[in-house]
Structure formats: C-alpha cells, structure tokens
C-alpha cells in the first residue's frame, strides 16, 4: 500500500511514518508568495489510514491547523484548508487530497487532533513514536527491522562508498539518482551480517539543514538502499555542522552510548570504510581526481578504528597513498613553554603597552585574561569597543592613568600596530609585541572547537581567516617594539571531556 498527495501538481509520495514538508512550489502548484516553501508537515499512518497535518510555516508554526478555516496563506494556498486538510479524501471542497493505493477505496477516517508539536532544534522533524526514524537534535537515526546490537561494528560511509550516482555526476540529480557502487557490496555485507557484525552507516548530509535536500526524499532513499543491500542497516545522519559531523566523533559516541542497546562496542573488532581518505590525484589508474577530503579516514583515526577505502575493502585493491592534514591537534604539548624566549619577563613592573598579533582563534584573549589582566593590565578589545579608533582612545586613557594596556586585536600589519606604538611613544612608555604563532589550520581548528563548545559565539569564517593571512606581516622590533615575544598555542583544559573533543580532527 502507498499513499500519494494529489492536487494541482504531480502526486507527492507520502511514505509511512515519514514527515513530508510541503509548501509553495511546483510539487503543489501553489504560487501565492504568502505561503512558505515549508508551510505544512504531513505524516501518513498506513496502519490507521490517516494523515497528521501540522502547519509549520507562517500563521502558527507548530500548531495543528484548523480544518476548513481561513489560513495564513489565503484561499487556495497551502496555508488554507486545501493543504492543511489535504490528506482527507472525504473533504470534497479541498483541491488537494491523499489517496492510499493498493487498499480498498472505502472512505478514510477523519484524523484526530494532536497536541501542538514542541519547537525542535534545526534539522528534519522526527517521525512519530514507533517509527524506524528518530531525531536527536541535529542527529537523525534510522534502525531497520531486524537490526540487532553487536560488539562488532562494520561502519560505512554512504555516498561514494556504498552507493554512487546513476547519472555519473558527483552529486545526485534527484532522489532516484543512485546505484549500488560495486556489485560485490551486497554479498560482502550479507557475509558480515552472518558473521555477527552490525552494519552501521555514518553519513554527513549538510543539505538537510540547508534545505537543499528534502528529508522525506532522503529517508526514502536510505530505506530503499537498505532493501537493495538485503541487510538490516543502522544509519546515523549528521544533518548540520557541530559535534555529529564527521570526522568529529559525535555519531560514533551516540552509537556506543545510546544506540547499541547497552552492549559495549569493541573498537578492536570493529572497522570503518569510507571514500574520503585523503588520496592525491592519480591515486590509482583511471582515478584522476583526488579525494574531496580526508574526513572518513580521520573519523576512523579519531575513534581508533581500522580504516579501509571502498576499493580496498570490496575490491581487494592495495592501499593507496594519502596525506593527513598539516595540523594534528594531538601533537600539541600542554607542558610546552608559554612564550619564547622563556626567560623573558611577561609582566612589566612599570606601565607599558602590549600589542597582541595573531589569527582570530589563536588564543589571544584567553592568554591575556589568564596572564595579563590579573596583573592589572587594561584590556583593550576591538570585539568589545567596535572600532580601532575607540581602542586607541581607550589605550590613551589608560596610559594617562599610569596603567599598562593589553591590546587584544589581530593587528596583522605594521599600519595597524603603529597606532599603539605611537600611543606608547606619546606617553613615554615602552611598547612590546606578543606574536601568537598559531597557524591558519590551528586557528580553523580552534574556531570549530569554540563553535562546538560555546553557545552564542559568532562563527569566524574562513574568509576572515584568509584575509588576516593575506595582510599579515611578521612584527619586528624595528617597528618601535622594545621586544617581540612569540606565544605558541598551549592547550589547557580542566575538563577531560573537552580535552578529548579538542584532540579530535575536526575537518577533513
């Protein structure tokens, strides 16, 4: 039995228990711009032969729509009764309806009202309780019928590992544009299942959060892939950035801690297969393109799992060359000297100006707050004051009061630094420079870590980091500095859990 929403456009499939979001567009034929592209959510229940319709667009997001009344999108729009009550075949006045095919054509029972849905984190809505799909914030989890827990996990990426595109294009052209990547895959997975492994797919699908991929289409695709493979799959889907997105271990940790029915996972007996392996151009005959990233290999490395590429695992090819990222967060030494030269005094006994230089995310603010502000230095920060002119004025005011100043800006070039050198010279005080030596890759890692652990923090884009890199000129004493101290990034964490997260590769 199947269910389709029928209206002005083409019939829209309503899979059993899967939330389908509809609104203005060619699928529905609705053109009224008062109607959102994500106006209503429809969940079909094949067992009861009913459909629950919830308005999520303008006019009362998260409320069960009023059947037959005036709606926020106006008559004829999805915000009106036309699509809010669309699944009711018995509502003759409505231009859209749902038909269950493959079952007797007796009238459908009227759906019962449901309480308002709670406002959820960004990501696709979870199907109702009892469904194979469940959501945990930005993590979407599928468990096929017959799935059993196991200490042995056979982990796989999805796109480029288990499936490819029929069209031959890098990205699928639609929900039906997929095929099993290699003929050997179903037999291999069935053997793993027979050997007691649980087959688990870990996949990044940022398109779900960005609206480029319809949740219902993706969920139906996953279930179809599982049926074609012929084994029960567990599928964990990172729908957005953050701790669940590979190579960070949020999905793996969720599996081990919450999604294996309490059975401990053996890392030694488990493995992971993925195509994002950091392989260079021409890594094999006929394979001219390099891997788009190294995220799958790093995911396995973070988890301590054995790693294979699809060609190695399914086709028996030999290992290919690969390259890991230049920055390895595990290599940082928490016992390293905090500045260089280490014999230099960090805090001055008399008033001075300290000018910090470094990437956003290089550790400047943390270092100054930990070591300089407790010694009485005035913190001059452009993030707080808003402009370099205000920073210069604050520096001048502090020096006039006989206080030392720590300038917490990126200050990439001599022009930006000279403003504070001039302040110190005018006040008759020395000016020193703290050069924070974190690389671009280190700064990117630190900013991703900050986004994952600090709520409300404004993300620092790569555009900003690359702009700093282009402008950067290494500071020298000839600019007017009495001394230039180099400050490496030395991690310091009181919380072991935060330390573990920091030491994971976070970008492929």
What pLDDT is attached to residue 292? Answer: 92
**∠ Cα 208 126 103 (to 5°):** 105
- In this structure, of 82-86, 189-193, 263-267, the range with the lowest mean pLDDT score is 82-86
Neighbours of 385 (CB within 10 A): 17
β-pairing, 97-101 vs 405-408, is unpaired
Instruction: Tell whether the model's pLDDT for residue 96 goes beyond 70.
Output: no
Q: 155 has which bridge partners?
A: 200, 272
* 279 pLDDT tier (thresholds 50, 70, 90): very high
What pLDDT is attached to residue 114? Answer: 32
Q: Are residues 300 and 155 in the same domain?
A: yes
DSSP string, 241-298: SSTTSTTSTHHHHHHHHHSSTTPPP-STT-EEE-S-S---TTSBTTB-SPPS-SHHHH
What pLDDT is attached to residue 14? Answer: 72
* 18 pLDDT tier (thresholds 50, 70, 90): low
What pLDDT is attached to residue 42? Answer: 81
Q: Are residues 237 and 165 in the same domain?
A: yes
Q: Are residues 245 and 139 in the same domain?
A: yes
* 84 pLDDT tier (thresholds 50, 70, 90): very low
What pLDDT is attached to residue 129? Answer: 35
Is residue 285 within 8 Å of 277, Cβ to Cβ? Answer: no
**Looking at residue 60, which CATH number applies to its domain?**
2.60.200
Q: In Å, what is the CA distance from 138 to each residue of 88, 217, 252, 322, 458?
A: 32, 17, 14, 31, 19
- In this structure, of 79-93, 133-147, 183-197, 421-435, the range with the lowest mean pLDDT score is 79-93
Q: Are residues 71 and 151 in the same domain?
A: no
Specify the number of domains making up the chain.
3
**Within a domain: residue 128?**
no
Instruction: Tell whether the model's pLDDT for residue 317 goes beyond 70.
Output: yes
**Within a domain: residue 342?**
no
Q: Are residues 139 and 59 in the same domain?
A: no
Neighbours of 259 (CB within 10 A): 20
Q: Is the dihedral of CA 206, 204, 42, 4 positive or negative?
A: positive
C-alpha span between 265 and 197 (Å, rounded): 11
Instruction: Tell whether the model's pLDDT for residue 340 goes beyond 90.
Output: yes
**Within a domain: residue 300?**
yes
Least Cα distance to 305 among 113, 153, 496 occurs for: 153
Tell me the Cα Rg of the chain: 29
pLDDT over 70 percentage in the chain: 78
What pLDDT is attached to residue 63? Answer: 42
**Looking at residue 457, which CATH number applies to its domain?**
3.40.50.300
**Within a domain: residue 361?**
yes
- In this structure, of 153-157, 285-289, 472-476, the range with the lowest mean pLDDT score is 285-289
* 118 pLDDT tier (thresholds 50, 70, 90): very low
Instruction: Tell whether the model's pLDDT for residue 455 goes beyond 50.
Output: yes
Instruction: Tell whether the model's pLDDT for residue 188 goes beyond 70.
Output: yes
C-alpha span between 19 and 17 (Å, rounded): 7
Q: Is the dihedral of CA 117, 119, 125, 126 positive or negative?
A: negative
Q: What is the mean pLDDT of residues 128-150?
A: 85
**Looking at residue 168, which CATH number applies to its domain?**
3.40.50.1000
* 104 pLDDT tier (thresholds 50, 70, 90): very low
* 109 pLDDT tier (thresholds 50, 70, 90): very low
DSSP string, 438-467: --HHHHHHHHHHHHHHSTTPPPPPHHHHHH
Q: Are residues 421 and 461 in the same domain?
A: yes
Instruction: Tell whether the model's pLDDT for residue 8 goes beyond 70.
Output: no
* 77 pLDDT tier (thresholds 50, 70, 90): very low
**Within a domain: residue 208?**
yes
**Within a domain: residue 52?**
yes
Q: Are residues 362 and 276 in the same domain?
A: no
* 285 pLDDT tier (thresholds 50, 70, 90): confident
Q: Which of 16-25, 264-273, 450-459 has the highest mean pLDDT?
A: 264-273
Phi-psi region of 230 (alpha: psi -120 to 50; beta: other; left: phi over 0): left
What pLDDT is attached to residue 43? Answer: 74
**Within a domain: residue 180?**
yes
Instruction: Tell whether the model's pLDDT for residue 105 goes beyond 50.
Output: no
Q: Which of 57-61, 150-154, 452-456, 457-461 has the highest mean pLDDT?
A: 150-154
Q: Are residues 272 and 408 in the same domain?
A: no
Is residue 129 within 8 Å of 173, Cβ to Cβ? Answer: no
What pLDDT is attached to residue 124? Answer: 37
What pLDDT is attached to residue 80? Answer: 37
* 117 pLDDT tier (thresholds 50, 70, 90): very low
Q: Which domain holds residue 303?
A: 133-315
The H helix count followed by the E strand count for the chain is 14, 20
What pLDDT is attached to residue 17? Answer: 61
Q: Are residues 360 and 389 in the same domain?
A: yes
Q: Are residues 149 and 262 in the same domain?
A: yes
Is residue 49 within 8 Å of 109, Cβ to Cβ? Answer: yes
DSSP code at position 291: P
Is residue 175 within 8 Å of 219, Cβ to Cβ? Answer: no
Instruction: Tell whether the model's pLDDT for residue 281 goes beyond 70.
Output: yes
Q: What is the pLDDT of residues 391-438, one digit of tens each?
A: 999 999 999 999 999 999 999 999 999 999 999 999 999 999 999 999
**∠ Cα 344 349 354 (to 5°):** 65
* 2 pLDDT tier (thresholds 50, 70, 90): low
Q: What is the pLDDT of residues 199-258, one digit of tens each?
A: 999 999 998 888 888 899 999 999 999 999 999 999 999 999 999 999 999 999 999 999
């Amino acid at each position: 039995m199947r269910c389709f929403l029928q209206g002005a456009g083409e019939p829209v499939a309503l899979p059993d228990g899967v939330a389908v979001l509809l609104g203005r567009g060619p699928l529905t034929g609705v053109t009224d711009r008062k109607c959102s592209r994500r106006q209503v959510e429809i969940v079909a229940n094949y067992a009861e032969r009913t459909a629950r319709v919830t308005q999520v667009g303008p006019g009362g997001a998260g409320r069960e729509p009023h059947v037959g009344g005036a709606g926020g999108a106006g008559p004829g729009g999805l915000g009106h009764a036309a699509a809010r009550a669309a699944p009711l075949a018995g509502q003759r006045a409505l231009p859209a309806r749902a038909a269950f095919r493959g079952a007797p054509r007796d009238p459908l029972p009227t759906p019962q009202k449901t309480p308002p849905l709670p406002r959820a984190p960004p990501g696709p809505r979870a199907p109702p309780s009892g469904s194979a799909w469940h959501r945990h914030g930005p993590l979407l989890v599928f468990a096929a019928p017959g799935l059993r827990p196991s200490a042995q996990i056979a982990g796989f990426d999805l796109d480029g590992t288990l499936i490819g595109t029929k069209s031959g294009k890098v990205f699928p052209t639609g929900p039906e544009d997929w095929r099993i990547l290699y003929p050997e895959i179903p037999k291999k997975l069935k053997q793993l299942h027979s050997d007691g492994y649980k087959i688990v797919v870990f996949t990044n699908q940022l398109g779900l959060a960005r609206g480029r991929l319809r949740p219902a289409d993706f969920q139906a695709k996953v279930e179809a892939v599982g049926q074609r493979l012929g084994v029960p799959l567990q599928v964990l889907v990172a729908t957005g950035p953050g701790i669940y997105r590979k190579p960070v271990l949020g999905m793996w940790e969720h599996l081990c801690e919450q999604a294996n029915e309490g059975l401990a996972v053996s890392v030694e007996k488990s493995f992971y297969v993925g195509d994002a392996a950091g392989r260079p151009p021409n890594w094999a005959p006929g394979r001219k393109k390099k891997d788009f990233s190294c995220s799958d290999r790093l995911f396995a490395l973070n988890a301590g799992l054995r790693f294979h590429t699809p060609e190695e695992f399914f086709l028996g090819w030999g290992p290919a060359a690969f390259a890991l990222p230049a920055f390895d967060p595990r290599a940082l030494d928490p016992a390293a000297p905090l500045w260089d030269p280490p014999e230099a005094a960090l805090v001055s006994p008399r008033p001075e100006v300290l000018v910090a230089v470094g990437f956003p995310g290089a550790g400047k603010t943390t270092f100054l707050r930990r070591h300089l502000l407790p010694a009485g230095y005035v913190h001059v920060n452009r993030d707080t004051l808003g402009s370099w002119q205000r920073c210069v004025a604050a520096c001048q005011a502090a020096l006039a009061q006989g206080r030392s100043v720590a300038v917490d800006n990126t200050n990439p070039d001599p022009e930006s630094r000279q403003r504070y050198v001039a302040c110190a010279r005018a006040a008759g005080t020395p000016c020193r420079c703290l050069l924070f030596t974190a690389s671009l890759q280190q700064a990117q890692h630190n900013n991703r870590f900050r986004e994952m652990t600090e709520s409300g923090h404004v993300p620092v884009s790569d555009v900003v980091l690359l702009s700093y890199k282009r402008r950067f000129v290494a500071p020298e004493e000839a600019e007017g500095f009495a001394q230039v101290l180099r400050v490496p990034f030395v991690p310091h964490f009181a919380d072991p859990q935060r330390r573990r997260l920091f030491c994971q590769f976070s970008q492929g």
